[in-house]
Structure formats: structure tokens, C-alpha cells
Amino acid sequence: MQTAMNKTFTPPLCLRSGEWVQVRTKEEILATLDLNGRLDELPFMPEMLQYCGMTMRSKQTGSPGL
């Protein structure tokens, strides 16, 4: 989703601890990144590639204040 300032906005997932999630594929993730390899100012680092396409159980929720 694009905002008025041409920045990407990703709505929150509202996940709970213990829910199963499907991590996007490498291609899906790379398609969302800007020229600096970031989405919503957060970098995608090479060490994250090992998790692409996996199904995993969430351990804890993130802070909505971040």
C-alpha cells in the first residue's frame, strides 16, 4: 500500500503468541524492498534468507509502540 509521500505502509498482522505463520518467499520479499533493501525503514538482511518460505510458530508478539 502506498501513502501520499510515496512510502510503503504495511498494516499490522495482529498475531498472537503460538500462531502459525508462513514466511514469504525470497522473491516475494525482494519485490517489496526499496533501493536500499528496506521495507518501512527496516532492512532485510542476508541472514534472514534461510527463513524464506518456511512455516513457523510465532514465539511472542511485537510491541505496537515500535
Alpha-carbon torsion angle 47, 54, 1, 40, nearest 10: -20
- 38 contact partners, CB below 8 Å, separation of at least 6: 44
Task: Find the distance separating the first CA and the last CA of the chain, reported in whole Å.
Answer: 19
What confidence score (pLDDT) does residue 17 get? Answer: 87
Q: What is the pTM of this model?
A: 0.65
Q: State the pLDDT at residue 13.
A: 76
The list of the chain residues with pLDDT below 70 reads: 1-10, 61-66
Which helix (H) or strand (E) segment holds residue 22: the answer is strand 20-22
Query: Which amino acid is present at 52?
Result: C
Domain ranges, ordered by start, for the chain: 20-57
